[in-house]
Each structure stands twice: as structure tokens, then as C-alpha cells.
Copies of this chain bind each other. A is one copy, B any other.
Amino acid sequence: MSTSTDTRYDQATIEADPTIPAIHIWRDFAATPDQLFRAHTEPDLYVRWVGPADRTVVIDRWDATDGGAFRFVDSRGEDHYAFHGCFHTVRPDRIVQTFTWEGMPDEVALETMTFEDLGDGRTRLHGLSLCDSFESRDAWLRSGMETGVNDGYAAIDRMLADGTL
């Protein structure tokens, strides 16, 4: 679970924390911290990358400020998944928010994302998703979340390359 800058995360690394019921995600981008911050806070950008590549995202609540909230629906045909949460902290280097899939509304994760400037034109995203049990954390890990993570971050790479972001 090294975060040494000798390590490169050109693909997302998703790991279970060894001592707390949390998931770590690391991913490096050819981006500034501000570009990653905007990708996570501006709704018109967010819908372009979040989730698996074969799905469409529609936002119906979005206020990415301290104490704001969000809700979006991720769809493929008649298959819909809705997610919502509230924003505790929205700062250029750090976002803290809650996150629930509405299929299991009492399972709430506390997510902390940081954007670390690596000083060479790259920025490291670290995400920590904290659950209230190891069983809940392990269910997230078994849910196929890596598809959405990898597809979404590949979409951010393309948005950085084509100037959308």
C-alpha cells in the first residue's frame, strides 16, 4: 500500500485496507489537481466520465459545495442504478462526501478524495471509501466496481487528451 512517488499508478489500483473497513483507490493522471477537481465537481464534466463506459448518467441533484448534495441515475436501456449522497467538504485538494447505492439505502460509505500534485505534470488521485463493516466493504469489492472505476478514469484520460477537461 505504498504511496511513494516512485510508484506509478497509470492504471487504477484498488485495495482493501488491512485494518479498517475501507477501500483505497490510487490513480495518476496527466492533469493538474484543478482539472481533477473540476472533473469531480462540475456536473457537465462528471456525467461524461463516471461509471461503466456502456452506461448513461443523468444528474437530478447537484450542489458540490460544503453541505451540498447530489443524486444521479446510471442507466443502460431499462436497467437503472441510482446513487446519492451529501458533500461534507469541497476544497481544491480534497472532497469528502457520503455515497449510497439506492438499492441498499442503509449502506452509506464515507468517501475522501485527495488530489496530490506529483510535480511532473501528473496528479495522483487517492480515494478512500470507508464502510461501517468489513462485510459491507467486501460486498463493494465483489460488486464489479473495478469496471466503473477503470472505464471512468480512462474517460478522464481521453477528456484530458482532447481538451474537454
Contacts and interface: CB of A to CB of B under 8 A. Distances in A.
Interface of A: 19-22, 61, 66-71, 84-89, 94, 96, 98, 100, 105-106, 108, 110, 112, 128, 130, 132-134
Given A86-B88, A98-B86, A98-B96, A132 B110 contact: yes
Interface of A is mostly: strand
Contact of A19 (B89, B98, B134): B134
Contacts of A66: 69, 84
Given A94-B106, A108-B96, A110-B110, A132 B88 contact: no
A67 B68 CA distance: 7
Contacts of A71: 67
